[in-house]
Amino acid sequence: VALCAAAAALAFTAPAFADPAAKAKDAKAAEKVAAKGFGMFESGLKTGSPKTMAGLFAPTGVLQPTVSNKVADTSAEIEEYFVSFLKLSPKPQINERYVRALDDNTILDAGVWSFDLTRDGKAEWVTARYSFLWEQQANGDWKIQHLHSSLMPEKVATRPAALKSAY
């Protein structure tokens, strides 16, 4: 998760990622789309750009964020959330993942993720549940239609391991 990835992320400020052949027709294709989508999300965080992060969402996308009580349902509100969240220098990793193709153009990616954060100059990590609803747009781009993330209700004493992925 180097500077190269962050620089490459600048190239997708408006669209998320397009792969017309990546229809979510089967489980393996859905897993690839989910992995690629998370990679774009992670790269977007590295840019430090709230506008880049908001650009990953569909025009009607909804964000139920981890560290805010406010649901964001416009691009401006999503961008506003990332203004404050990006100040924490978030570095995510997937710990558990469950991917379901809901139809050819919609994928649910749900599970557990953890973030390294820097708050008030101190490093910390948090573990949360997440769910992405990825939707393929008319132009072929996959965008976030819905993202929900919430801290685990019970304290997580041991840092979870990163999920090993073939993608």
Summarize pLDDT for 108-129 with one digit per residue, the tens: 999 999 999 999 999 999 999 9
List the structure tokens of 64: 């139920």
Q: Mean of the per-residue pLDDT values for the chain? A: 87
Question: Rounded to an integer, what distance in angstroms lies between the CA atom of residue 132 and that of residue 37?
Answer: 9
- Taking Cα atoms as reference points, which of 94, 85, 162 lies closest to residue 128? 94
What is the bridge-based pairing of β-strands 17-18 and 57-64? unpaired
Q: Which of 6-20, 40-54, 96-110 has the lowest mean pLDDT?
A: 6-20
- Reply yes or no on whether the pLDDT at 4 is more than 80: no
Q: Decide: pTM greater than 0.75.
A: yes
SS3 121: coil
Please indicate whether residue 11 or residue 108 has the higher confidence score (pLDDT).
108
Dihedral, CA atoms, 20, 32, 141, 138, nearest 10 degrees? 60
